[in-house]
A = this chain, B = another copy of it.
Amino acid sequence: MSVEQTTPRTGSTETHEPPAYVQTGDKVKVLNRLRRIEGQVRGLQRMVEQDSYCIDVLTQVSATSAALRGVALELLDEHLHHCVRHAVEDGSSAEARLAEASAAVARLVRS
């Protein structure tokens, strides 16, 4: 979800810290999705409070889960295209970034 810094990395030892978030457009898009998901979760609370039929609640839970999964896939896609790519090109932390991305996929698949 992040990558190159907007300010140049001046070659200090901070080079190897995980790169920060950058693409403003992506960030706005992800935040909008998360706000919609927050709205869905609040809607679920209202449904339960108002004694909605359980199957209707479940349908909304499934929709919310799918939306959350969509955010995860977008974050991962950005991460691969930016952080991982950058690390491999840079060479300094390629192995660590690849292992970490792979572990994140495993957690996601199992969540």
Residues of A within 8 A of B (CB): 1-2, 18-22, 27, 30-31, 34-35, 37-38, 41-42, 44-45, 48-49, 51-55, 57-59, 61-66, 68-69, 71-73, 75-81, 83-85, 88-89, 91, 94-95, 98-102, 104-111
Provide 21 A-B residue pairs closer than 8 Å at the C-beta atoms, listed in order of the A residue: A1-B52, A1-B58, A19-B53, A20-B51, A38-B41, A54-B78, A55-B100, A55-B104, A58-B79, A58-B108, A59-B107, A61-B108, A62-B72, A65-B72, A69-B110, A80-B101, A84-B98, A85-B98, A88-B89, A105-B105, A105-B108
In the complex the two chains form, is B98's CB within 8 Å of A58's CB? Answer: no
